[in-house]
Amino acid sequence: MKKYMTRMGDGYRVELSEEEIWEDIKAGMEDAVSRGGVPELSGEEQQKLFDIITMPGTVVGVEFGKEVVMTSDSGAGKVGHLAGIQIDRIIGAQIHERVCANDSVDLGHIDYTYKAVKAVMHDEAADMQHTVNNTVMPILYGAMTNLGQYTKPDGPCDNWAELLPQGKIKEALAAQEEAVEHAVKDIVYIGDGMYECGADGMNFDTCGASGDADFLAALKAVSILREKHPDMGVEMGMAGEFVLGMHGGLTFDGKRLAGMYPHEQVKVCEAAGATIFGAVVNTNTNESLPWNLARVCTFLKACTDAATIPVHANVGMGVCAIPMTDFPAIDAVSRIDKALVEVAKVDGF
């Protein structure tokens, strides 16, 4: 029986038969349908997935005319911080533009949190000004809401992660609500400053990382910033496939945030004024690439169908079917990218 080389979610190499690949495609798709309440992929889409997974060649690519844009979150710092090459962030942004051919990049502080950046906003603004003056592509300022940083001892609010296990539910909810207001104030301050010195927009990275209150803070800040600066571009990228209900009762635009999946997340981001939605679906390290990819495409097809703004899939390690390993293999990455464009219909990465 012919076997096809593919990967597990942790990057482990595995050979699967045609029958096994189909079983995994069906199971991954059904998992998304059952969790997210989204429609199944059509027979044609499933066949397309199978064809992409079993294509010969190490690297595969999208068909002509289906190329998409690429942005890099905290991209300006990646060559310096991650590769350890001693360059500053402005050169990092230029490398992304002129060597890596990115279509946009975000400049971010190494701490990558709005609260931490507040104290060094003017230095950040100076770097932003130099970066936009030395590049052609849109430059966003990126950071995370990271609501946990507003809890004691780092911040003014009680720590809900400690209160909840003590059964102090009301106090835990109130602490989260209080933290939202602090975060919104900080984010708007940074957004205003960056926009004034020439940033093309803001990248709200890893929204909801600390749960639904974290997501709410980002949505509220986006809403305020877009009202003040109607031409500001805003990308909102998510932290996970569903919004973790650390609070459970928070709403935006009349919708409860906790438990939202990508096709629902994109609608509240649109309502807030986001101009790009960064979708995330978690990679299950115990399942195969066909299982993960079918699941991601099922979630994201529903998301792109629902969206009226561009949807960019986050294809970093451990999300959107990319194996969770330090150096994801190109055979997996290129197949995933092709499927996300041609089956899930994403607009960018």
Partner 1 sequence: MSKETILKEAIEAVKKCKEEEAVDVMNRAIAEGLDPVEVLSEGFSVGIREVGDLFSRGQVFLPELMLAAEVMKSVSAIVDEEMQKSGKDADKKGVMVLATVEGDVHDIGKGIVASIIKTQGIDVIDLGRDVPADTIVAKAEELGADIIGSSALLTTTMGEQKKIEEILEAKGLKGKMKTIVGGAPVTERFAKRIGADAYAEDAAEGVEKVLALLA
Catalog residues that contact partner 1 under the rule CB under 8 A: 8-10, 12, 35, 161, 164-165, 167, 169, 172-173, 211-212, 242-248, 258-261, 282, 284-286, 317-318, 324-326
Residue 24 or 212: which CB sits closer to partner 1? 212
Q: At closest approach, how far in Å is the CB of 99 from partner 1? A: 26
Residue 47 or 284: which CB sits closer to partner 1? 284
Residue 167 or 254: which CB sits closer to partner 1? 167
Q: Two tokens at 149?
A: 């940083």
Q: At closest approach, how far in Å is the CB of 342 from partner 1? A: 28
Q: At closest approach, how far in Å is the CB of 16 from partner 1? A: 16
Q: At closest approach, how far in Å is the CB of 80 from partner 1? A: 18
Residue 102 or 176: which CB sits closer to partner 1? 176
Q: At closest approach, how far in Å is the CB of 242 from partner 1? A: 3
Residue 55 or 161: which CB sits closer to partner 1? 161
Q: At closest approach, how far in Å is the CB of 162 from partner 1? A: 9
Residue 90 or 322: which CB sits closer to partner 1? 322
Q: At closest approach, how far in Å is the CB of 165 from partner 1? A: 6
3-state secondary structure the chain: CCEEEEEECCCCEEEEEHHHHHHHHHHHHHHHHHHHCCCCCCHHHHHHHHHHHCCCCCCCCCCCCCCCECEECCHHHHHHHHCCCCCCHHHHHHHHHHCCCCCEEEECCCCCEHHHHHHHHHHHHHHHHHHHHCCCCCEEEEEECCHHHHECCCCCECCHHHHCCCCCHHHHHHHHHHHHHHHHHHHHHHHHHHHHCCCCEEEEEEECCCCHHHHHHHHHHHHHHHHHCCCCEEEEEECCCCCCCCCCCCEECCEECCCCCHHHHHHHHHHHCCCEEEECCECCCCCEHHHHHHHHHHHHHHHHHHCCCCEEECCCCCECCCCCCCCCCHHHHHHHHHHHHHCCCCCEC
Residue 207 or 258: which CB sits closer to partner 1? 258
